[in-house]
Amino acid sequence: MTSIPLVNLTRQYERLAPAVERAIGAVCARGDFVLGRAVNEFEAAFAAYVGTRHAIGVASGTDALHLIVRALGIGPGDEVIVPANTFIATAQAVWSAGAMPVLVDCDERTATIDVSAVRAAVTERTRAIIPVHLFGQPADMDPLIALAADRGIHVIEDAAQAHGAAYQGRNCGTIGVAGGFSFYPGKNLGAYGDAGAITTNDDGLAAEIRLLRNWGSPTKYVHSRMGFNSRLDSIQAAVLGVKLPYLDAWNDRRNQVGAWYRQALAPLADRLRPIEQGPWTSRHAYHLFVVRALDGGRDRIVAALQAGGIGAGIHYPLAIHQQECFQPLLARKPHLPAAERLASEIFSLPLCPELLDSEAERVVDTLCSVIAKIPATVHAGR
Ligand SMILES: Cc1ncc(COP(=O)(O)O)c(C=O)c1O
């Protein structure tokens, strides 16, 4: 039997191939490979889609966050609060700017940043908070914005997994001072290589980021400040321009599969519990469908699923403070029980717009038979 990958990029490419190849061919024919027409067109289209005055294409989602932090003037001696349960890039982007990432715990039910933990972590050095719209679900933004506004702190959205998601009717990427998006190939809107973008309504910040991404250069060979080479590639912009019109329909399909998975897994609720949807989420982007194995059997479940041809994944097996690269930065080991618990319990089921109903059914059937064979070691009381 064929296996079901976590994300089926080949199937999407087969459907879009003629349009994608035409768009790439047009860039090649024009020869405007760097900051060319496709970049301008995609930036305008993405800004209109998200609903911000500006979208600035950069080389990756990591660079998007790094350049936002830098452009806000945050650096050595400053602290930026980030959740401990995120992809490493959120924290490394802060470190790249020379600032200190301060790791806080998450709300175990929704896996989004814990607002009370943020409040407790604020010091006189705190310059920004980076909530992550993890797995495609917005973080609870209003309390964070209120907390930050009182103290003159910036809120930067890590929207790398949340293209098209909305918080109480407001699109992710429009709520904080700026949003950082990733177009890594497996994302809801994915390029054919690394790519990213920053959205903002702040004209000054947008201008600063445009300088920083291009060696601090307002005019060719004139450099007003130190900067970086971090531009969105024209070929990637052309691919993204072809895909963007499909994003809402793709997210609808992700939501359909997500809702179906929730329903199909409900009978296993004493052993498996999907990450919950917060009441503030008006549109989930379902970048990933993440389930908690409540009885300690996660690794056995994932191994058995993979052996059965189901491309289950773990996002992420270690919280940031458990990563080796972070040990030198930690004066003492933080106690972040929810992030640690999730890291040991969660696994992700195949989910992409191209997933067939029959494949989703096979995923659940396989999961049910795997669960039946693995004895529950701990009874779920949570
Ligand atoms: C939450 C989060 N933040 C940041 C990034 C970094 O994006 P990129 O891989 O495009 O650098 C990613 C994805 O990789 C991510 O999932």
Give the Å distance between the CA of 30 and the centre of ligand 1: 31
Q: Which two tokens stand for residue 327?
A: 């040990």
What is the distance in A from the centroid of ligand 1 to the CA of 184? 7
Judge whether residue 265 has pLDDT over 60. Answer: yes
**What is the per-residue pLDDT for 263?**
98
Read off the pLDDT of residues 4-47 as tens digits, 9 standing for 90 and up: 999 999 999 999 999 999 999 999 999 999 999 999 999 999 99
Q: Is the CB of 353 under 6 A from ligand 1?
A: no
Pocket of ligand 1, candidates 60, 158, 182, 286: which has the most ligand atoms within 8 Å of its Cβ, to mutate? 182
Q: Where are the alpha helices (DSSP H) in the chain?
A: 9-30, 37-50, 61-71, 88-96, 115-121, 141-151, 203-212, 234-243, 247-265, 298-307, 337-345, 357-373
Rounded to whole angstroms, the Cα distance separating 205 from 180 reads 13
- Please give the Cα distance from 288 to 265 (Å, whole number): 16
> For residue 347, what are the β-bridge partners?
291
pLDDT of 159-189, one tens digit each?
Answer: 999 999 999 999 999 999 999 999 999 999 9
Q: Output phi, psi for 75, to 5 deg.
A: -165, -150
Nearest to 93 by CA among 112, 75, 114, 116: 75
Residues in the chain: 382
CB within 8 Å of 18: residues ≥ 6 apart: none
Q: Mean pLDDT score of the chain, rounded to an integer? A: 97
Does pLDDT of 379 surpass 80? Answer: no
CB 131 within 8 A of CB 121: no
**Cα(175) to centroid of ligand 1, in Å?**
19
Spatial CA neighbour of 240 closest among 88, 61, 65, 93: 61
- Ligand 1 pocket test, pick from 85, 88, 184, 315 with the greatest ligand atom count within 8 Å of Cβ, gives 184
Question: 183 with 164: CB under 8 angstroms?
Answer: no
One-letter identity of residue 246: Y
The average pLDDT across 185-201 equals: 98
Check pocket membership of 230 for ligand 1, CB cut-off 6 A: no
Distance CA 306, CA 309 (A): 5
Phi, psi of 229 (to 5 degrees): -100, 95
| 126-129, strands of its sheet edge to edge | 54-58, 196-200, 178-182, 154-158, 126-129, 79-83, 100-104
Q: Look at residue 378 and tell me whether its pLDDT is greater than 70.
A: no
3-state helix, strand, coil in the chain (%, to 5): 45, 15, 40
- 218-257: per-residue pLDDT in tens? 999 999 999 999 999 999 999 999 999 999 999 999 999 9
Cα–Cα distance measured from residue 204 to residue 346, given in angstroms and rounded to the nearest whole number: 41
Rounded CA-CA distance 206/153 in Å is 18
β-strands 281-283, 100-104: how paired? unpaired
Check if the beta carbon of residue 185 is closer than 8 Å to that of residue 192.
yes
User: Could you read off the pLDDT of 117-175 as tens digits, one per residue?
Assistant: 999 999 999 999 999 999 999 999 999 999 999 899 999 999 999 999 999 999 999 99
Mean pLDDT of 205-213: 98
Verdict on whether the full-model pTM lies above 0.95 = yes
Tell me the β-bridge partners of 113.
106
Place of tokens 């992030």: 339
Token pair, residue 381, equals: 């009381």
Distances (CA, A) of 322 to 82, 332, 344: 14, 12, 12
Is 60 a pocket residue for ligand 1 (Cβ < 6 Å)? yes
Answer yes or no: is the C-beta of 87 below 6 A from any ligand 1 atom.
yes
How far apart (Å, rounded) are the C-alpha atoms in residues 189 and 314? 21
Confidence of residue 381 (pLDDT cuts 50, 70, 90): very low
